[in-house]
Amino acid sequence: GNSVTQMEGPVTLSEEAFLTINCTYTATGYPSLFWYVQYPGEGLQLLLKATKADDKGSNKGFEATYRKETTSFHLEKGSVQVSDSAVYFCAALSGGSYIPTFGRGTSLIVHP
């Protein structure tokens, strides 16, 4: 089956800093890749996705590029805000399934 590895958190940044949260995956074939965000006390929301190699998903200033050669899908944002404080989950989904494999989540804390 698939597996997803995320960097350990928490990641603590000052407002307007550059963000990278690393995510790598192992899978048979070419899975679709996702980033979900969980704000405090809430469920998960889809942030962005990419379905094939070299695709770039983007939303709300966040970006991630599907890198087949490094089996990675790192999340980046050029300038974080306090409101971006949340837990971010990387996930992989192979064809024929609708249950993604989630990473352990990375907590992001942004200070004013």
Partner 1 sequence: GAVVSQHPSWVICKSGTSVKIECRSLDFQATTMFWYRQFPKQSLMLMATSNEGSKATYEQGVEKDKFLINHASLTLSTLTVTSAHPEDSSFYICSAPGQGISPLHFGNGTRLTVT
> In the complex, what is the shortest distance from the CB of residue 99 to partner 1, in angstroms, rounded to a whole number?
7
What is the Cα–Cα distance from 99 to 90, expressed in whole angstroms? Answer: 13
Closest Cα to residue 23, out of 35, 38, 39?
Answer: 35
- Tell me the window of 19-27, 30-38, 65-73, 76-84 that interacts with partner 1 (CB under 8 A): 30-38
> In the complex, what is the shortest distance from the CB of residue 30 to partner 1, in angstroms, rounded to a whole number?
15
Does residue 42 bind partner 1 (CB under 8 A)? yes
By rule CB under 8 A, what count of residues binds partner 1?
A: 23
Does residue 31 bind partner 1 (CB under 8 A)? no
Residues within the interface to partner 1 (CB under 8 A): 9, 32, 34, 36, 38, 41-46, 49, 87, 89, 93, 98-100, 102, 104-107
